[in-house]
Amino acid sequence: MKKWIWVALLLVLPLTSTMAASGKNLLDPARFTLSGHTLMSEQATPVEAGTMYNLSFPDFYMLDQMHILVTGESGTTYIDEAMLDDVVCAPDEYWTTCAFETTHDETGLMFTFTGGFVANFYANYQMFDFQLELGNTRTAYEPYETSDTTQPLMQGAGLVEINYASNQSLASIIDESVTVTDNMDGDISDSIVVLSDGYTGNAQIPGEYIVTLSAQDAAGNETQFELVIQVVDHVPPVIQGPNEIAVQVDHLPAIDALIQENFTFTDALDGDCEGYEIVSDAYTGESSVGTYSVKIRTADQAGNVRTKSFSVSVESNLPAVIEGPDTVTLYLSEQPNDPMITTLFSALDRATNESLTIQIETTTIEDYATAGRYQLTLKATDSFDNVATKSIIVTLVDDIPPIFTYDDQIVVPLGSALSDMDLFHVIKSYYHEQGIIVDQLSVIQDEYTDHAHEEGEYAYQAEIVSNTGETFIHHGRIAVVEPELTPRINVTPPMWIGGALSLASLSLLILKKKT
């Protein structure tokens, strides 16, 4: 019966009640909206952390089935139940009251009322008799107090440091550094306006710039804030240069010369850096082939430091020098070959100072047994594959005397004596027919002399020297036979020399050619 009476009262009260301006009711109808059968807040209602609050609203049959959900911006759920459950919320004569305490980090509350004819109630009475107040008991209803004289709270860092290279806009700095909250309107950071701006236009020039900000809440209360922006240089300088420098082992520049020739030190803000420092240097003092690490450092005017490591590769791209004669003479009697030429030459690796192998790269010699003048190219390859070459002339001299084999047989009658002079004239006559003039003859082998009175055939050798200076060996045979067996051709009177038969006469000596 009492609920029917409360309905009547509700229909009258909006027209006759006096609205006090105490400001105790924190529920702002402007923050709520009705969607279908759900009445919910679109903005959080600001509250204090760790504080007891009491939510109350009319209790009559149309709202018995309404579901209540109260959550905080902290993520805490304070109420989530239907009115009939009576867990947190309980009816108290004409109202339902829900008492709860906010958490230590709470800043605002969101409300949702669903079902139970709440849509019909809101359509007729708006949020009349809906009240959120401090404490844990319901007091007389007061509408939301719209009078607000509290200034918004603008918070942020007093000094913001910005790297000039970031080229950051003032809007992004404000968005990241400054917040504005209002006791009634909540977060109103979007209302910030810039009153004065010393930063924009100087964002890439190191220095200190002041920006004055202002913000107003919905009631027109204004707060100003001074933001100091410090533009700094945190960008290190740039060292440009190669990661590896190659030098020759026979020409090692000083490390400073290498650095100054190959590297530049610049800063985007300052331009050229004043200098550099060698942090470590394994190259200086070395004199052999290898790779050595060096580390350098430079700094800009703001003290930003940049380091760079590189290596110095000590190499050798100069071929060795092949030392040796330009001409070589070899004799056929020595049986010449390639090593007899290459051993006359030498070369040192400029990188390791070790001896290199000498090779014949090209040659016109086809046969070392053939005398002549030939051109050869020698080569030597070092540890860096540098090839050294040398062209030489090789003369092959035929110092082997020709061996003339005289196969004709000299026939001497048994009892005759053949002297060296006789033999000289016989041989001289023989070579004269071949166009060779014999000047000297020396018998170097003689089986005949000891057997001159013995029938048989005996070998002899004589060294012959021609009128051109050519020396060769003559081989022959002397046959001692019975006189009656001695053949005769062109019989002429014999010539007796010293009691011996003259070999110049062919009446007693027969030259018998082989066929």
Q: How confident is the model at residue 434 (pLDDT cuts 50, 70, 90)?
A: confident
Domain for residue 442, yes or no?
yes
Domain for residue 319, yes or no?
no
**Res. 484: pLDDT tops 80:** no
Residue 453's domain spans which residues?
403-512
- We report the CATH number of the domain holding residue 245 as 2.60.40.10
Strand stretches in 273-397, DSSP E = 277-281, 290-299, 305-315, 327-331, 359-363, 372-381, 387-397
- Helix extents (H) in 79-194: 118-125, 170-177
Contacts of 390 (CB under 8 A, 6+ apart): 322, 324, 345, 377, 378, 379
Report the alpha-carbon angle 368-371-373, nearest 5: 100
Chain segment 26-64, per-residue pLDDT in tens: 999 989 999 999 999 999 999 999 999 999 988 765 566
Chain segment 77-115, per-residue pLDDT in tens: 999 988 767 788 888 778 889 999 999 999 999 999 998
- Give SS3 for 433: coil
Domain for residue 146, yes or no?
no
**Res. 368: pLDDT tops 80:** yes
C-alpha distances out from residue 349 to 289, 342, 472, Å: 11, 17, 49
Specify the range with the lowest mean pLDDT, choosing from 83-97, 300-314, 476-490. 476-490
Beta-carbon count within 10 A of 467 CB: 10
* Same domain, yes or no: 11 and 81: yes
* Same domain, yes or no: 254 and 215: no
Chain segment 135-191, per-residue pLDDT in tens: 999 999 999 877 677 899 999 877 999 999 988 999 999 999 999 998 778 889 999
* Same domain, yes or no: 243 and 340: no
* Same domain, yes or no: 341 and 227: no
Sheet harboring 193-197: ordered strands across? 159-163, 222-232, 207-216, 193-197
* Same domain, yes or no: 101 and 6: yes
> How many structural domains are present in the chain?
5
**Res. 447: pLDDT tops 60:** yes
pLDDT of residue 62: 58
* Same domain, yes or no: 12 and 127: yes
75 vs 289, which has greater pLDDT?
Answer: 75
Q: How confident is the model at residue 351 (pLDDT cuts 50, 70, 90)?
A: confident
Mark which of 174, 206, 232 sits at the end of a domain: 232
Q: How confident is the model at residue 401 (pLDDT cuts 50, 70, 90)?
A: low
